[in-house]
Each structure stands twice: as C-alpha cells, then as structure tokens.
C-alpha cells in the first residue's frame, strides 16, 4: 500500500444515533455508495484523513521515481531505457493526479510538499530501500507496482469522488508497469547467464519482505483502519490485501523459476490461500521512523530538486508577466 | 509555485464527442497550462483536443442548492417521451 498507518484522529466509532444530523446524512450517503464530492458537507476528521492519505500516496509516487532514476543511465539497452523513462514519467503523473485530488479538499500542494521535505509527512516504506542491480528494476515493477495495484484496484471504489477518479486513471497505467517489470525478469531467467539469473534471485530476496510490508501492520495493530473502513476511504483490510497479493504472485514466481526468502511459505489447501512467515515488524517501524537504508538520501534528493529548480519556476512567472504586459501594450 | 494558477483540464477523447473534465494542472500562464495538460493527461493518445480553464473563472452550483435547482424537474414527468402512451398499432414513434 502506498499509504501506511494513516491517522484518522478518532478513538471510537460513533453510532448513527450519536451523530449530528449532518454527520448521519453523510454516513448514510456513504453506506448507500454515493460518492462524496468536494463541495459536499463532510466531517472535519474525514477531510483531514483524506488529505493525509492522498498526500502520502502522492508523495510515494514522487519519491518512487528516485530508486528507478538510478537506472536510467545504466539501462542495458535503448529499449529498456525508453520503457523505464516512460514508467518514471507515469509515476510523476500519478503524483500530480493525486495532488490535484488532494487540493479539492482545500489542502495546499506547496505546504504538503514542504511537510514531506521537513520529514513530517510519510511516504511508502518501500522506497527507502536501494536498487542495487538491474534486476531490481524488474523486481520493483513486478512486486512493488504489483502490490500497489492490489491496493489501488480496491481504492477505485473509495468514497471520495476525486480520489476514486484519480485511482481509475492510475490503474489503467499501472498494468504496463507491472508487465514491463515481469518481462525484464523473464528475459533474464530465460536468456541470461548464470550471473544474471542470480541477480534476479538476489533482487527478489531483498525486495520480497519490504513489498509485503507495503500493506502496513496487521489488522489488530492498525488502530485507524476501522474508521477508514466505515468511511469507505479504505475498502479492504491490510491483511486481506496482503493475502491477495501473495496468492496472485506466487504462481508468477514459480513460472520464473525463483523462490522467496520465506521457509514458511506454503499452499494451505484448507484455507485456499498461501500461508507465510512473520514479517520483521521492527524493521518496518524503523523504516517508517526514518531509519531505513535510503530515507535520508531520498529526502535530500527531493530537497535538492526543489531548491535547484527554483530559478526555473521564477523564470516561468517572470516570462508570463512579461507576455501579459506585452499583450496589454499591443491592445 | 503558489503564484501559479490552478487550471481545470477538459479533453475531447474522439472527434464528435464532448470535452470532458479530467483533472487540473498548475501553470504560470495559459500556454504552460496547455503544455502541462498535454504531458499529464494525454500521454497515451487519450484525446484530440484540450481545453484549459482557470479554475477561479468557473461558477459551479452549490451542493445546498441542489433541491432548488434540480427538484422542480422531478415532477414534470410530461417532459419525457415515455409519459405519452400510444396504441401498439401506431408502431415506433
């Protein structure tokens, strides 16, 4: 999931009887699957939660460009380089769709980005891991975008209209990302040298657990989930989504001829799902706190991009003002 | 970026169809809004024509006016063709 542990600011769910008439009206709309739009009345906590979740999601898209940017100049062929650049441009686009959706709630884009750069806003833990070899580009597309798709397909039905529509647009583009990633790995496994095949397995070994962490803590450790589900901001729980991802990914893994670093992974006939081992939650919380392998590097790269691009933005404003003046004079 | 203007973007997906709202962009001027909209919303031939409109210039109906604006049409069923029942012998009309 691209948004992890989003705070809803509520301690306990209200019953319909406890709600004000406005709140009840709002909740009944949600229960009836009517989308909430920007101008509709909404509880303050719903608005704040959405701003947190959508901005976090947007930041993840933007920071998510960085691990891949590492490989643009190192892609093995021109074809792979073009594909990678198209994917990275899509991620920028996804970030912008989401910032737009967030702005409909009255939030300011610059302020939210500033929070990210000050270390006050979260983004997905997955992007704090390094991309060390070319197979990582394949594994990121296949596993990371794959995990994001599982989450985002469900979010197309989220209760807030602008967020839901951004998700529809994003989902259309994501499947290209996942396929291109899987194909990179498939090519390496089918036609590669032993060394290249080892790179694929190495990439999967390093990224498997962080990909599972993307879905966030267990349901009973996820204090905000319940409210988010009632508001239908979230539609499925963290554990449900994680299980869906594992179930659909393992057959693809086996087709590649690779394994995951989990001795407890096995098909459970009775449940009709894969069983799997326990995630290292200490690592998850450490990364969220800012102590992952790349947290510092990611944020400083973002800050540098904003600072060094300042003159371009200023020039654009100056040029627009000059054009306006000229047009006024000519008239 | 705060000095940049927020624009709403409308795209005509095919000749013969209406422009449809797809989202928004920030830009310093109209030309830049057009370029940004093109990069953001039509990377995969999603459209044949784009409109960009400064968001501040749009007047929208308020959600609390919904009843005043739209309810009066609810009780005018005679405005729909299906209100007028014709004998089968008349055939399709």
Ordered by where they begin, the domains of chain B are: 5-82 (3.10.20.520)
The pLDDT assigned to A19 comes to 86
Q: Number of Cβ pairs closer than 8 Å across A and B?
A: 48
Is A222 or A301 the better-scoring residue by pLDDT?
A301
Closest-CA distance, B84 to chain A, in angstroms, reads 32
pLDDT-derived band at B73, boundaries 50, 70, 90: confident
Q: Among A97-106, A179-188, B64-73, whose mean pLDDT is lowest?
A: B64-73
CB contact under 8 A, A103 and B28: no
What residues of chain A lie within 8 A of the CB of B6, using their CB?
Answer: 103
Closest-CA distance, A22 to chain B, in angstroms, reads 12
Q: Among A221-235, A266-280, B61-75, whose mean pLDDT is lowest?
A: B61-75
Is 80 exceeded by the pLDDT of residue A87? Answer: yes
User: Secondary structure of B63-92 in the HEC alphabet?
Assistant: HHHHHHHHHHHHHCHHHCHHHCCCCHHHCC
Q: Among A101-110, B58-67, B73-82, whose mean pLDDT is lowest?
A: B58-67
User: What pLDDT digit, counting tens, does each position of A113-141 carry?
Assistant: 999 999 999 999 999 999 999 999 999 99
User: What pLDDT digit, counting tens, does each position of A139-186 carry?
Assistant: 999 999 999 999 999 999 999 999 999 999 999 899 899 999 999 999
Closest-CA distance, B23 to chain A, in angstroms, reads 7
pLDDT-derived band at B64, boundaries 50, 70, 90: low
Find the CB nearest A317 among B24, B25, B28: B28
Distance CA A145, CA A210 (A): 13
**Angle between helical axes of A78-103 and A44-63 (0-180°, round to 10):** 160
Token duo for residue A150: 């599982």
User: What pLDDT digit, counting tens, does each position of A226-268 carry?
Assistant: 889 999 999 999 999 999 999 999 999 999 999 999 999 999 9
Distance CA A244, CA A256 (A): 19
Distance CA A293, CA B37 (A): 36
Q: Among A25-34, A101-110, A216-225, whose mean pLDDT is lowest?
A: A216-225
pLDDT-derived band at B68, boundaries 50, 70, 90: confident
The pLDDT assigned to A221 comes to 87
- Residue A39 forms contact with B (CB below 8 Å): yes
User: What pLDDT digit, counting tens, does each position of A10-27 carry?
Assistant: 767 788 788 888 999 999
Per-residue pLDDT averaged across A27-54, rounded?
94
Listed residue (A171, A172, A190, A170) closest to A182, CA to CA:
A190
> Of all residues in chain B, what percent are helix, strand and coil, respectively (each to 5)?
40, 25, 35
The pLDDT assigned to B1 comes to 52
What residues of chain A lie within 8 A of the CB of B4, using their CB?
Answer: 313, 316-317
User: What pLDDT digit, counting tens, does each position of B33-51 carry?
Assistant: 999 999 999 999 889 999 9
Question: Could you give the count of Cα atoms lying within 13 Å of A296 in the half-sphere of its Cβ?
Answer: 2
Average pLDDT, chain A: 94
Residue A158, helix vs strand vs coil: coil
CB contact under 8 A, A93 and B6: no
The pLDDT assigned to A296 comes to 95
- Residue B58 forms contact with A (CB below 8 Å): no
User: What pLDDT digit, counting tens, does each position of A46-56 carry?
Assistant: 999 999 999 99
Is 90 exceeded by the pLDDT of residue A5? Answer: no
């Amino acid at each position: 999931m691209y948004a992890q542990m989003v705070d809803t600011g509520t301690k306990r769910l209200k019953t319909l009887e406890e709600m004000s008439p406005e709140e009840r009206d709002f909740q009944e709309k949600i229960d009836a699957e009517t989308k909430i739009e920007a101008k509709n009345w909404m509880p303050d906590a719903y608005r704040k939660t959405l701003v947190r979740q959508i901005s976090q999601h947007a930041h993840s898209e933007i920071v998510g460009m960085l691990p891949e940017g590492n490989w643009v100049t190192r892609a093995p062929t021109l074809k792979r380089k073009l594909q990678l650049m198209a994917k990275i441009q899509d991620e920028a686009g996804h970030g912008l769709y989401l910032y737009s959706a967030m702005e409909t709630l009255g939030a300011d884009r610059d302020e939210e980005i500033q929070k990210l750069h000050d270390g006050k806003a979260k983004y997905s833990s997955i992007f704090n891991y390094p991309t060390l070899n070319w197979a990582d580009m394949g594994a990121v597309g296949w596993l990371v975008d794959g995990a994001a798709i599982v989450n985002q397909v469900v979010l197309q039905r989220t209760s807030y209209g602008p967020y839901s529509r951004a998700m529809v647009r994003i989902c259309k583009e994501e499947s290209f990302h996942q396929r291109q990633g899987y194909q990179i790995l498939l090519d390496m496994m089918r036609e590669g040298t032993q060394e290249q095949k080892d790179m694929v397995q190495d990439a999967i070994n390093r990224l498997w657990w962080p990909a599972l962490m993307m879905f966030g803590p267990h349901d009973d450790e996820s204090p905000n989930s319940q409210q988010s589900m009632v508001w239908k901001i979230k539609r499925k729980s963290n554990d449900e989504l994680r299980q869906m991802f594992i179930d659909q990914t393992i057959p693809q893994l086996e087709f590649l001829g690779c394994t995951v670093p989990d001795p407890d992974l096995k098909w459970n006939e009775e449940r009709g799902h894969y069983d799997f081992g326990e995630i290292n939650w200490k690592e998850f919380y450490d990364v969220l706190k800012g102590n992952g392998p790349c947290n510092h590097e990611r944020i400083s790269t973002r800050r540098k991009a904003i600072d060094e691009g300042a003159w371009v933005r200023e020039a654009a404003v100056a040029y627009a003002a000059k054009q306006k003046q000229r047009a006024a004079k000519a008239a | 970026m705060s000095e940049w203007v927020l624009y709403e973007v409308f795209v005509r997906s095919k000749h013969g169809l209406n422009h449809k709202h797809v989202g928004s962009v920030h830009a310093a001027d109209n030309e830049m809004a057009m370029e940004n909209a093109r990069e953001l919303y039509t990377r995969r031939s999603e459209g044949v024509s784009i409109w960009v409109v400064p968001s501040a210039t749009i007047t929208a109906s308020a959600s609390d006016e919904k009843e005043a604006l739209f309810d009066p049409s609810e009780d005018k069923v005679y405005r729909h063709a299906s209100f007028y029942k014709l004998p089968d012998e008349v055939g399709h009309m």
